[in-house]
Structure 1
């Protein structure tokens, strides 16, 4: 870096140009936005979508040979719907987010250039500029102070520290932890005082610029759902081609005379045509084995959750975050503005008997804070808290009663403020003081209140004590005693305000729900250890293990705390937060990170799901996956509920679709062994897949969130999406349907009484209705509740299920030669519905007899 010109004259125009050329403009490079077309193409990276595209290509070849493009059109339609819905939901969320962003890069800043004070846009600042600052200003760049007066800066957005920190000039290099007291960071705000400083870093080189870069880096990490769908796609590929190959071999074995068949195998066009038909049948099995409705089901479920979560104050920017939040087992939370209100509040007072009015007078007149529009207080947050405890009306009344003659402003050096005032109605003079309790105790020669102060400070509260130094006495004499450190014997203690940034009222219940749901909550804050511990206690944290961030590596090697790692981590820098988050992710925790400040943004970006407060910084919101519009921690719990319910809906669809695929593929493979080479025609196969895939996807995706999921533990990230219970249900029902259908096919071929009356149309209709009944079971599988529970509260579900039944009836009644069907009578349809209904009845009876006991 060039040697910075440290003089009050400021830079010349030539020096400004040279500095800008060397260090650039004071602009933070925004993250590169993904164009809409690329956002859409990204939807085709889904592994199931890739399989469907391959299936589309195969079906197009098949369509050219067979002259039927029904399946190709159906698959293409399913792909376009799935990708289109996913794209539109994320694009719509992006537009809503963009509308929330504000641009402050061009606000005017006072600088001294060529000896003259001028205003320049923030983006025109350069390294070496002398900037003039005062209370209320947002720091425009990283600045090194060369002059200051009673300056306090809120660094909450950068460090999470809720209390403003003193800033002053240093003559020696800073060797402590955290940011140096003479360094002002871009994006922080001056709460009191004034000063001048020299710009040392601009744009991307500032601390906020570096943090913003980390917040926008590509993490290349996959969500738990994406990992499982990748794994599922691989297994489906293997299974589909294995079953297809087996079917092709079996068809040849039972058809030709070189094995078990009666047809002579000779090289001819007829033989070649037969082999092409067998191959086409095998190809159809591949297509049937791939659940076309899965991406549609996943997308619709995500979109439905995304839309509903927005109504419940969760603006989801990235669609998969809807599900990922349900898999979370650790929530890393910021303190200020997330668990607490980020509003300093007087929570208790210690008042000498009969002195309440005097305490209000001291708080009102001995203050630099002011009411604005009767509802907000401008100025020092501590003084603002005192004014709020007094109230707007009383504050103005007291200030109108007293005329301030002189004052000694607060200084971090002596830690008190004194006001000399005249009561207008009686012309009585009064000298009052407020400040640090230990300082007030020394000045007035009384420390009887310090025990209570110590108890309150142990609870993480700030204490501001007040006293009357004298009435109708010499102000200059009092001032001289203060300057000389002489005790003032006539002084009288009045009381103390105890101030804290209170925990949000709804946070303890939300934390309790998190524990019940098997989710650990860890606070990572820039605040001190004592305050962090107390806030954790008030928030309802269990087994509090509090450390400073610098001791994390040492702490995790310890044992005996009843925890694997600490749950209160104080004095965290952005780097500390990111390192701890990555440590947890390496151990396969699914991590959510909540926050509102710039210091939180890198962790928000790298977390499995980043959750920013709606009132937070634009950098934090840019880095997040979900924005809490109401800033309420309980909204995270709502997100978890929707995420878990969504995953259950996806598994319910997998149960329905894969049980159909299992039975259909097995019937296709083993049908020839019982004398029926093609139990279903190619077109029937395809419509079984399309109708039960696409329409059932819509029905099951629309299921609302279930409160009971918050009583479950988070799922194991390593566990395959089709776990043992689900696999048993899929292969159990699919296998049962396969056995029933194979027996029916065998009986049809062997002329068994009654069953032999069933023809291929009735067989096809019966198979469709069997799976239609199972759709009701699929809605509640794994939820241990009746199939009728909440059934009529979801109009989408019963509307779509009715549509599936109607579609099946239309295919059968009017399919003709295309579907190898003929119209059935109403009596036959009634019989089919009756004979297949045990699929639903048996399951409901089992629940009523045994399931209720398990749920009680």
Structure 2
């Protein structure tokens, strides 16, 4: 509130406008009923409003000092994000673990009993040691979670590091979106997702999707402020029963069509979307793998609770029997002490049994993988997409910029019936001057790109659409500078390129001829079909009949396409406005109205063909190998492109998607229209809950065509969506790439959507799960590699943890029944819990991927997490460890002197302290060596040290564990209730650990994998998201009251927001 007041004071001092004055303009009901328009008029229209915020609608903010003033007055554009959780909050969250609280209470009682029984000098040691062990667990867990939260926060900030173009000081400047300030003139195009609120001051054919803010799905037409003022009454009558036309552009909405400029009026937390984001910030939902693992965790937790109960019953039975024999008095401190110790052991068993490390391992694996993926040009938005990519078996890829380098250059021209290749700029002297003017002006007017020449290297830096950049560079070679043609008062109307029309047209007034000239460029065969004439030799126009069109198509367009060239046709026509309205002569408003009255398809028909450009976009060097790798990995790659069928086929062969020299199958290469008609498009049906869903019209035909199809040419976003819908319905896991606004539905529909980070629109990035920072297909292979590796890491961890759990639970119960006590005391079990949860998750969940992950088939949706090979490792390892530990308890004393050292005699130690110390040491050492065996999942990999050097962190964690373990044994003494061991005894423990590796190697050699397929250790029920908090494991684990409180607040805020949106819809 104080910050807001300071902003208002500064802004009033500067311009008499406050932050509230500006944000009030974007209240939806005020926009709809015209109040916002009236308020802008009261400020002096758009120019007066700009002056009041230290700007100008033509030149923008003039100086950097003014930019800083506006930032101080009206705030910055820092994205709204949830308040980071502090280390103290994470520590408190750990303390909310029910079992740890019970253990703390029991430790307190134990300390009191110890002091009463032994005195203050020594009685406090056992309880204090337990307190310290719990503190250590909490500190390490909270610290680990804090680092994880910090890393994810940094990744979220990276997602907001977008770029945009603004006009400052009458120059177009590219800046980061977070640098936008109130008063900037922001340039926007089709596909942009708005992050600020503003007033549209210039634009053409702009249509917006405001459904995210209003809930209305209709496209909303937007007009520049001055045009809106002129047509206000007419538009108010038209908008009475449908979406409201206005010049107000709202943050969180998407540009579906057109281009324009807006005067920025609200940024950051002052925008409409910023205010809503503060209410709706939520934690990430559980990933599918976490939901699946929750079922495993619950099964293990149930087993732990059962063992804990039976262990407590067994210990109480022994206590009752001792009381019955008179060895212990019923009403004595000793009875209370035994009761408390038995209770602590039982609670500790639950603490050890409940696999806290399972969700932790998933989180660590995701955090580690997401960080590494970012280094390899994959920016992850949706965490679950990482693991899902491990099961992807189909990739539907774009061509431009993904398979190709997106560094385009015009290498061929067909102009004046001549074909020129490579050095196209050398033909300037051979072409008619008027032909060059027609071609270059059409290129310059029909573009929104801003290529720039590097002053040092004199090379072009392509900014914007790369196809347009290539054409503009070609025009520059003919001495036509695009900056002289825009913005231009001569432009009467502009129809932007879209996937349906596949062309762009601009109507320009020519004062010399007093005609309106319509320049058109677009897909060559589309534009060619609209032409009735062409520019021939010496610039003379010739009739273009169907025979001539067919010849151009076969000899030029297909020839260029067979060389992997994208073909763009350039054409024009002249309109005579006098035939319709003689009073329009030279009057721009009337001419604009005249061109606006013409239907889009009528404006650019009956064209004159000027030229056809062949644009080369080289294949990325690593793409063929990546495609080959996909085929070896069991992944089908399909190219979906807007290029014509010849260009698409040539590129696909060059990439390796299609085999060169092999005759194509009937459906290997199809056009989008053919595909759409053959499969019957999409139809709407209702599921069992009555919800409407889309499915392919003819499923049988879809199976036929999808089985062989590798390339779809002249594909629309609708075709891509149909393909993805059908493939998913067939049970496939689909990854899709996209860059355009219309790709958003397919990106959302896919299991994993990849948006292009360089060429992708904001809408596509918003819909995607992962952003390819380099627009490179090979980066998708990287995501697939890490996705498979995440699954592998979790499996390795499960192998390790289940072995530890089974052995610890069995030995605790066996000791309680036979020895009247658990072989591992509370402190030792807490240390084991730390090893098998936090340390093991760090060691095994951060394993880097190796090349073998891409040499096998992808995981299937229905695959069990615990595979037969893992069953064999878990059961084999458990049998070996249980046998060794039983031998230590019942056989070893017969063959080794395990008497208590003299210095411990008379102190409060277990009578078999050396034996129990060897038991503890052997147990931990076997876990360290077992973790080495658990790094291998492949049935064929016998050597446990394969790829031993690719994870230094693993060896660091194991070394640290052994060092701390030896310190505990040698110096733990009365605190841990252990005795130091001799060198011989240490070597024996190490031998037991090495033996576990040898035993598991023998198990792999002797026992076939099929033997383990006949049983499963756990059911692996998938826990749905709404029941995640109701599982036994979840109840026993910590539950943050802080987060529960936040969740309740979020829910109430969501209801509030929805009611606000609904009230806007009713207006």
What is the TM-score of this pair, normalised by structure 2? 0.56
Q: CA deviation at 1:825?
A: 1.8
- The verdict on how the C-alpha distance between 1:780 and 1:16 changes in structure 2, with shifts beyond 3 A counting, is farther
Q: Distance in 1 between matches of 2:803 and 2:209?
A: 62
Residue of structure 1 in register with 2:927 after alignment:
771
- Report SS of the residue matched to 1:462: strand
Which deviations, in whole Å up to 9, do the C-alpha atoms of 1:658-684 show, x marking residues without a partner? 211110110001123443532122212
Tell me if the contact between 2:412 and 2:420 (Cα under 8 Å) persists in the aligned partners.
Answer: no
Residue of structure 2 in register with 1:833 after alignment:
990
Residue of structure 1 in register with 2:503 after alignment:
none
Residue of structure 1 in register with 2:134 after alignment:
72
Q: Distance in 2 between matches of 1:560 and 1:804?
A: 60
Kindly indicate whether residue 170 of structure 2 is the aligned counterpart of residue 97 of structure 1: no
Which residue of 739, 744, 754 maps to 2:888? 744
Kindly indicate whether residue 592 of structure 2 is the aligned counterpart of residue 548 of structure 1: no
Q: Distance in 2 between matches of 1:220 and 1:699?
A: 24
Residue of structure 1 in register with 2:698 after alignment:
557
Which residue of 555, 558, 583 maps to 1:452? 555
Tell me if the contact between 2:373 and 2:783 (Cα under 8 Å) persists in the aligned partners.
Answer: yes
Q: Distance in 2 between matches of 1:452 and 1:367?
A: 24
The aligned runs of 1:474-485 (5 Å cut-off) are none
Which deviations, in whole Å up to 9, do the C-alpha atoms of 1:228-268 show, x marking residues without a partner? 23223322321221121222233344554499x96789964
Residue of structure 2 in register with 1:634 after alignment:
778
Kindly indicate whether residue 856 of structure 2 is the aligned counterpart of residue 712 of structure 1: yes
- Report SS of the residue matched to 1:791: coil
Tell me if the contact between 1:139 and 1:189 (Cα under 8 Å) persists in the aligned partners.
Answer: no
- The verdict on how the C-alpha distance between 1:291 and 1:772 changes in structure 2, with shifts beyond 3 A counting, is same
Residue of structure 1 in register with 2:844 after alignment:
700
Q: CA deviation at 1:105?
A: 8.3
- Report SS of the residue matched to 2:717: coil
- The verdict on how the C-alpha distance between 1:136 and 1:235 changes in structure 2, with shifts beyond 3 A counting, is closer
Q: CA deviation at 1:813?
A: 0.5
Residue of structure 2 in register with 1:482 after alignment:
none
Residue of structure 1 in register with 2:98 after alignment:
54
Q: CA deviation at 1:816?
A: 0.8
The aligned runs of 1:673-822 (5 Å cut-off) are 673-675=817-819, 677-747=821-891, 752-754=894-896, 759-782=915-938, 784-785=940-941, 786-822=943-979
Q: Distance in 2 between matches of 1:455 and 1:292?
A: 62
Tell me if the contact between 1:593 and 1:603 (Cα under 8 Å) persists in the aligned partners.
Answer: yes
- The verdict on how the C-alpha distance between 1:87 and 1:264 changes in structure 2, with shifts beyond 3 A counting, is same
Residue of structure 2 in register with 1:243 after alignment:
307
Which residue of 625, 631, 634 maps to 1:518? 634
- The verdict on how the C-alpha distance between 1:712 and 1:765 changes in structure 2, with shifts beyond 3 A counting, is same
The aligned runs of 1:263-662 (5 Å cut-off) are 268-269=331-332, 271=335, 273-331=337-395, 333=397, 337-339=401-403, 346=410, 361=431, 366-368=439-441, 369=443, 373=453, 375=460, 385=470, 411-412=519-520, 415=531, 430-431=538-539, 441-442=544-545, 448-453=551-556, 455-456=558-559, 461-462=566-567, 464=569, 497-499=613-615, 506-521=622-637, 527=642, 534=649, 537=652, 540=657, 543=668, 547-548=675-676, 551-553=681-683, 555=696, 557-559=698-700, 568=712, 570-572=715-717, 590-601=733-744, 604=747, 608-615=751-758, 616-662=760-806
- The verdict on how the C-alpha distance between 1:602 and 1:386 changes in structure 2, with shifts beyond 3 A counting, is closer
Q: CA deviation at 1:319?
A: 4.7
Kindly indicate whether residue 221 of structure 2 is the aligned counterpart of residue 142 of structure 1: yes
Tell me if the contact between 2:561 and 2:647 (Cα under 8 Å) persists in the aligned partners.
Answer: no
Which deviations, in whole Å up to 9, do the C-alpha atoms of 1:622-678 show, x marking residues without a partner? 454432221112112102212221221222122112211110110001123443532
Which residue of 63, 69, 74 maps to 2:107? 63
- Report SS of the residue matched to 2:949: helix
Q: Distance in 2 between matches of 1:714 and 1:530?
A: 31
407-416 or 282-291: which moved more? 407-416
Which deviations, in whole Å up to 9, do the C-alpha atoms of 1:571-603 show, x marking residues without a partner? 335xx8779867876777555443333334466
Which deviations, in whole Å up to 9, do the C-alpha atoms of 1:79-125 show, x marking residues without a partner? 31342122111111122233335259855499xxxxxxxxxx99554
Q: CA deviation at 1:828?
A: 2.4
Tell me if the contact between 1:461 and 1:531 (Cα under 8 Å) persists in the aligned partners.
Answer: no
Tell me if the contact between 1:341 and 1:501 (Cα under 8 Å) persists in the aligned partners.
Answer: yes
Q: Distance in 1 between matches of 2:464 and 2:880?
A: 74
Q: Distance in 2 between matches of 1:653 and 1:293?
A: 9
- Report SS of the residue matched to 1:679: coil
Tell me if the contact between 2:207 and 2:257 (Cα under 8 Å) persists in the aligned partners.
Answer: yes
Q: Distance in 2 between matches of 1:284 and 1:379?
A: 61
Tell me if the contact between 2:357 and 2:841 (Cα under 8 Å) persists in the aligned partners.
Answer: yes
Q: Distance in 1 between matches of 2:830 and 2:648?
A: 62
728-737 or 815-824: which moved more? 728-737
Q: Distance in 2 between matches of 1:72 and 1:821?
A: 19
Q: CA deviation at 1:551?
A: 0.5
Q: CA deviation at 1:798?
A: 2.0
Q: Distance in 2 between matches of 1:504 and 1:317?
A: 25
Q: Distance in 2 between matches of 1:372 and 1:244?
A: 72
Kindly indicate whether residue 829 of structure 2 is the aligned counterpart of residue 672 of structure 1: no
Residue of structure 1 in register with 2:83 after alignment:
36
What is the TM-score of this pair, normalised by structure 1? 0.68
Tell me if the contact between 2:566 and 2:643 (Cα under 8 Å) persists in the aligned partners.
Answer: no
726-735 or 314-323: which moved more? 314-323
Q: Distance in 2 between matches of 1:734 and 1:241?
A: 19
Kindly indicate whether residue 214 of structure 2 is the aligned counterpart of residue 84 of structure 1: no
Q: Distance in 2 between matches of 1:383 and 1:443?
A: 29
Residue of structure 1 in register with 2:980 after alignment:
823
Q: Distance in 2 between matches of 1:516 and 1:104?
A: 51
- The verdict on how the C-alpha distance between 1:233 and 1:344 changes in structure 2, with shifts beyond 3 A counting, is same
- Report SS of the residue matched to 1:594: strand
Tell me if the contact between 1:142 and 1:186 (Cα under 8 Å) persists in the aligned partners.
Answer: no
- The verdict on how the C-alpha distance between 1:243 and 1:565 changes in structure 2, with shifts beyond 3 A counting, is farther
Tell me if the contact between 2:753 and 2:770 (Cα under 8 Å) persists in the aligned partners.
Answer: yes
Q: Distance in 2 between matches of 1:18 and 1:839?
A: 83
Tell me if the contact between 1:744 and 1:755 (Cα under 8 Å) persists in the aligned partners.
Answer: no
599-608 or 79-88: which moved more? 599-608
Q: CA deviation at 1:688?
A: 1.9
Q: Distance in 2 between matches of 1:343 and 1:408?
A: 34
Tell me if the contact between 2:757 and 2:765 (Cα under 8 Å) persists in the aligned partners.
Answer: yes
- The verdict on how the C-alpha distance between 1:376 and 1:690 changes in structure 2, with shifts beyond 3 A counting, is closer
- The verdict on how the C-alpha distance between 1:16 and 1:41 changes in structure 2, with shifts beyond 3 A counting, is farther
Q: CA deviation at 1:735?
A: 3.1
Residue of structure 2 in register with 1:225 after alignment:
289
- The verdict on how the C-alpha distance between 1:687 and 1:136 changes in structure 2, with shifts beyond 3 A counting, is closer
